[in-house]
Structure 1
Amino acid sequence: MNSMIKIGLPLKLKWVSVLFSKITTTTPTHMGDAWGPKLRRRRVLFPLPLPKCSIPEAKGPDMDFINVAYSNLIHAHWDFLSQIASTLTPFRVSHVLLKTHRDHVLARQFFNWAGQQSGFIHSIETHCLMFHILTRANKFKAAEAIMRRVIAPKVGNPGPEIFQTLVNTYRLCDSTPRVFDVLFMIYAHSNKLRNARDVFCWMKSYGILPTTETCNAYCSSLLKRNRHDIVCHFYGEMLLSGISPNVYTLNMVIHAFCKTGKLQKAGDVFWRMEELGCSPNVVSMNAMIDGYCKIGLVTAALKLMREMSVKGLVPDIITYNALIHGLCKEEKVHDANKLFYEMQRMGLSPNTVTYNILINAYGDQNDIEMTLRLHEEMIQKGVQLNVVTYNALIRSLCKGGKTRKANYFLKEMTAKKFEANASTFYALIDGHCRRKNIEQAFQLYKIMVKKGFTPHAIIFKALITGLCEDGDLQVGIKTLEEMVSRALVPDAEIFYALIQGLWKSGKIKDTIKFPVELQTEV
């Protein structure tokens, strides 16, 4: 029977997909307001009927075994069942499960017992029957554990067969539509997002819609995988299918639109939340504020924060961090500092992210005194330092030529088991080049490469410029050759540094000795 399902299933589900695409409307009439009230809802005009019966009837020896097994099962005669265990087959187990489908405890005991018998392996059908029985009894955790065994294998894709088997056995188990909803959620929680999407489409072809909560689980898994574009599209599918979003759905959609740079659509969703029966909360506000700040609309973000109190909402640490970061990006560090003290007056304690933003900002302004003061404040208040903090401090110090102090922080971060990353090495290499400590810069470069970090063009630029200014033109040209060998393109400043160095040393004619691939750049 299983082999028969495997052969017929892919074609059937492909036919279902084609049929579904033909019997539904697919295009909203208005997309400007992020699938607003003028859309045409997508509805299945002719949902496929769920089959009444699709498991062959038991006859002869099979029927005898099933009746005997069931009789002994209800009387808990496990010793006798063990004597006939050698004749177990998935077909016989399926029929015993059907006889016990109204008693989920007894069905589960038999299912577990059968799985422990030597030489017996449960089929997709026996798993699906048990899944029906447990879901119907609202034993969702147990049902999920059963289904996870089937979807776990990484080889092949049992998804279509699982769904079709659930369809075929639906009426036999007197099941509930929730069984498909739970399957959709299991795939979403397991990060099997393509399978989840397939289940969503197949459910709709039978006129069954998932719950809003399950759709939220799917969107959440997509966001964790940075598939913001799919979240935006799926939101449209939800509305077209008639699934009502809740505030959690809308918050995720706003976040997704902001991440994909579609702030106008994010705004459309945000301003229509109350129309959709949802009141914006702090998460909604934060998503919009962060979106505004990322594209430089800090004034609009600040205005939105001030409106939070009108709606009875209180800004949190995420609100202030987004605004402080936005102001620092606009080089309005003084205004950012005002917000920094405002949040503390509001009873909010700055966290690691807050301090990292400000240390980076003051470092960009070469204000080493403020970066060190903020560092001391973090220690006094017991705020955890991380790699980003140390990198910001090291970068600030190196930019100001204080490489000795920067090296001290490098040793401190290493002692705290923080691994230096590419940003750490760049800051140190650049700082040593500025201080004409080319030898130390090269030592750091070698350590960086040895640790498996790929040097970026900006690191080569610091090294080559430093070498040329130090008069070591031969090593400078070799470093340039290595840069090109890594498929990195030198910019005009690198060539200017090399040519200037050659000119000063009276070797301007040596420019013709550049590698062939560089001569076109020169």
Structure 2
Amino acid sequence: MRRNIRFSGTDLDFVNIAHSHLIHSQWENLHPLSTSLTPFRVKHILLKLKNDDVLSLEFFNWVHNCNPSSHTLQTHSILLHTLANNRKFKTAHSILRRIINVNVASSSNTLFDALLCSYRLCDSSPLVFDAVFKTYANLNKLRDATHTFLRMKEYGFLPTLESCNAFLSSLLQLRRAEVALAFYREMRRDCISPNVYTLNMVICAYCKSGDLPRALETLEKMKDMGLSPTVVSFNALISGYCNKGLLGLALKMKSLMGNYRVSPNVVTFNTLINGFCKEGKLHEAYRVFSEMKVANVAPNTVTYNTLINGYSQIGNCETGMRLFEEMGRNQVKPDILTYNALILGLCKDGKTKKAANLVKELDKDNLVPNASTFSALITGQCVRNNSERAFQIYRSMTSIGYSPNESTFGMLISVFCKNEDFDGAVQVLRDMLDRSMTPDSGILSALYNGLSRCGRKRLALELCSEMEAKRLLPEGFGQEKIAITSPENGTNN
């Protein structure tokens, strides 16, 4: 049973005196009272100030600085009601982030209940709960946001469209496309009308979940909802088609943009260029690049990087270098990805000296080599079957804290095996295992067979046993070989 808590005379006098000092800006008279603050007194002072959000916040912060133990979830809640009533949502979100980050409230349910408890006392607005929902969404705390949304509905409070959009955005960032679509359906059932930003995210969610027909249907329904698609709407669909390899449909979607009086932008062209490059269709990618220039859409660093990387992957470093020179003429600033793509192209073509010279040019653009730079240089030496130089670069790479990926490790082991330097191959394999990486079964077979030919089957067996113990042995690899070379079978070379 709830009991009415009454002021004692001392509390009532304290609250009235403090309130009088506050409204007359007599802060110097307040300081002697700071040691006598209690959560109960702070709460009632804030209640008396509830119509003045500026003074409420000043007092709240003053208490936080001089006697923070006087603040409780209840005092925070009263301030939040005051801020929401006066539509000071930016400040409310800041207070909420503090509550959440320092665990003033142990859970979203605790926070909701505290606000609900003081809701009528503060003559508050449902927007205070909306602020909580939006804050959880912006902090990517999806479970707390979901719980708050359900509690709001339980009490008849609906979130604003802006907060729903924040939640949808957070879901997409965290790759929860199916949940985003389910939430959108819930919005529609609750008669929360979407805007273009909402529907763009819905299109994106359908694309990410692989349902391109529904994505297209959503775009086509925009007009019936009194909304017009934007370039973002089309870019989402174009990206969806490109990710599925449906490049013809992606181009068709670009051609439809004019029907909606929407012009393609740099993202549109970059998405198409990337789609063609991923499929190895460099001729079509370059045609889109040319169309981009005709449309007076200026290529950016991403555009050039995509094309240079595409040409590098097929070993056409000459075209990559021409594009790099064009970047300079057009005053488009290269980044480390630009250089890495060029270096990789040169290395794949065996032009390791030119690649090394490019590395030296990084300083001019205030760039620093990264793991991909070293991996490209290792690739170049592996192409030339120069295992010793490749290993030197590998050692330089690891000495400054970069770790090769599985592909780079595989190349190193492979080139050592080709040169019949099995000690080097084993050393690289052990480094790979130390990083908990599983070697490729083909490369491992080459090393195993090489060791066996050299009469070092025992070492091959030991390596297999080590990998098996670490659960890094490729599935199905070596079972028969281990049986053949086991001590019980008497083949311990």
- Could you say whether these structures have the same fold, taking a TM-score greater than 0.5 normalized by the shorter chain as the test? yes
Residue 167 (1) aligns with residue 116 (2): yes
Which stretch of structure 1 is more off in the superposition, 431-440 or 318-327? 431-440
More RCO (CA 8 Å, sep 6+): 1
Relative to structure 1, is the Cα distance of residues 109 and 293 closer, same or farther in structure 2, using a 3 angstrom cutoff?
closer
Query: What pairs with 1:366-445 in structure 2 (closer than 5 Å)?
Result: 366-413=315-362, 416-445=365-394
Instruction: Tell me how many residue pairs correspond in the alignment.
Output: 467
Q: Offset at 1:369?
A: 1.3
Residue 323 (1) aligns with residue 272 (2): yes
Q: Which residue of 1 aligns with 2:172?
A: 223
Q: Offset at 1:189?
A: 2.9
For 1:489, the aligned partner's letter is P
For 1:362, the aligned partner's letter is Y
Q: Offset at 1:512?
A: 6.5
Residue 356 (1) aligns with residue 305 (2): yes
Q: Which residue of 1 aligns with 2:51?
A: 102
Residue 150 (1) aligns with residue 99 (2): yes
Q: Offset at 1:363?
A: 1.6
2:221 is aligned, of 263, 266, 272, to 272
Residue 515 (1) aligns with residue 492 (2): no
CA distance in 2, matches of 1:156, 1:181: 17
1:345 is aligned, of 284, 291, 294, to 294
Q: Offset at 1:432?
A: 0.5
CA distance in 1, matches of 2:417, 2:16: 91
CA distance in 2, matches of 1:190, 1:413: 37
Q: Which residue of 2 aligns with 1:475?
A: 424
CA distance in 2, matches of 1:427, 1:521: 36
Post-superposition CA distance 1:330-374 (Å, at most 9, x none): 222112111111111111111111111111221222222101111
Gaps of at least 5 residues in structure 1 are 5-52
CA distance in 1, matches of 2:231, 2:100: 37
Gaps of at least 5 residues in structure 2 are 465-476, 482-493
The answer on whether the counterparts of 1:187 and 1:193 sit within 8 Å (CA) in structure 2 is yes
CA distance in 1, matches of 2:139, 2:384: 52
Q: Offset at 1:401?
A: 0.8
Q: Which residue of 2 aligns with 1:492?
A: 442
The answer on whether the counterparts of 1:273 and 1:280 sit within 8 Å (CA) in structure 2 is yes
Query: What pairs with 1:287-302 in structure 2 (closer than 5 Å)?
Result: 287-302=236-251
Post-superposition CA distance 1:355-408 (Å, at most 9, x none): 111112212222221011111111111111112111111111111110111111
Q: Which residue of 2 aligns with 1:250?
A: 199
Q: Which residue of 2 aligns with 1:335?
A: 284
Q: How does the TM-score come out when normalised to structure 2? A: 0.85
CA distance in 2, matches of 1:374, 1:477: 41
Q: Offset at 1:74?
A: 4.1
The answer on whether the counterparts of 1:465 and 1:498 sit within 8 Å (CA) in structure 2 is no
For 1:491, the aligned partner's letter is S
Q: Offset at 1:150?
A: 2.3
CA distance in 2, matches of 1:439, 1:172: 78
For 2:148, the aligned partner's letter is V
For 1:441, the aligned partner's letter is A
Relative to structure 1, is the Cα distance of residues 454 and 110 closer, same or farther in structure 2, using a 3 angstrom cutoff?
closer
Post-superposition CA distance 1:67-91 (Å, at most 9, x none): 4444554455555544544432221
2:404 is aligned, of 455, 462, 467, to 455
1:126 is aligned, of 67, 70, 75, to 75
Q: Which residue of 2 aligns with 1:235?
A: 184
**SS at 1:515 equivalent:** helix
Post-superposition CA distance 1:209-258 (Å, at most 9, x none): 11111111222233344444443332233223332221111212222332
Q: Offset at 1:474?
A: 4.1
**SS at 1:236 equivalent:** helix
**SS at 1:275 equivalent:** helix
Q: Which residue of 1 aligns with 2:468?
A: none
Q: Offset at 1:64?
A: 3.5
The answer on whether the counterparts of 1:255 and 1:266 sit within 8 Å (CA) in structure 2 is yes
Which stretch of structure 1 is more off in the superposition, 174-183 or 421-430? 421-430
For 2:208, the aligned partner's letter is K
Relative to structure 1, is the Cα distance of residues 521 and 263 closer, same or farther in structure 2, using a 3 angstrom cutoff?
farther
Identity among equivalent positions (%) equals 43
Relative to structure 1, is the Cα distance of residues 54 and 410 closer, same or farther in structure 2, using a 3 angstrom cutoff?
farther
Q: Offset at 1:109?
A: 4.3
Post-superposition CA distance 1:455-491 (Å, at most 9, x none): 3332233223322333434433554455456442333
CA distance in 1, matches of 2:87, 2:62: 22
**SS at 1:331 equivalent:** coil
The answer on whether the counterparts of 1:473 and 1:498 sit within 8 Å (CA) in structure 2 is no
**SS at 2:70 equivalent:** coil
Relative to structure 1, is the Cα distance of residues 482 and 140 closer, same or farther in structure 2, using a 3 angstrom cutoff?
closer
Relative to structure 1, is the Cα distance of residues 136 and 429 closer, same or farther in structure 2, using a 3 angstrom cutoff?
same
Q: Which residue of 2 aligns with 1:314?
A: 263
CA distance in 1, matches of 2:439, 2:232: 43
Q: Offset at 1:454?
A: 3.3
Post-superposition CA distance 1:311-343 (Å, at most 9, x none): 100000111111111122222211211111111
For 2:351, the aligned partner's letter is K
The answer on whether the counterparts of 1:469 and 1:497 sit within 8 Å (CA) in structure 2 is no
The answer on whether the counterparts of 2:269 and 2:292 sit within 8 Å (CA) in structure 1 is yes
Which stretch of structure 1 is more off in the superposition, 332-341 or 262-271? 262-271
The answer on whether the counterparts of 2:448 and 2:460 sit within 8 Å (CA) in structure 1 is no
CA distance in 1, matches of 2:381, 2:374: 11
**SS at 1:304 equivalent:** helix
Q: Offset at 1:134?
A: 2.1
**SS at 1:514 equivalent:** helix
Q: Which residue of 2 aligns with 1:137?
A: 86
Relative to structure 1, is the Cα distance of residues 155 and 407 closer, same or farther in structure 2, using a 3 angstrom cutoff?
farther
Which stretch of structure 1 is more off in the superposition, 281-290 or 228-237? 228-237
Query: What pairs with 1:34-45 in structure 2 (closer than 5 Å)?
Result: none
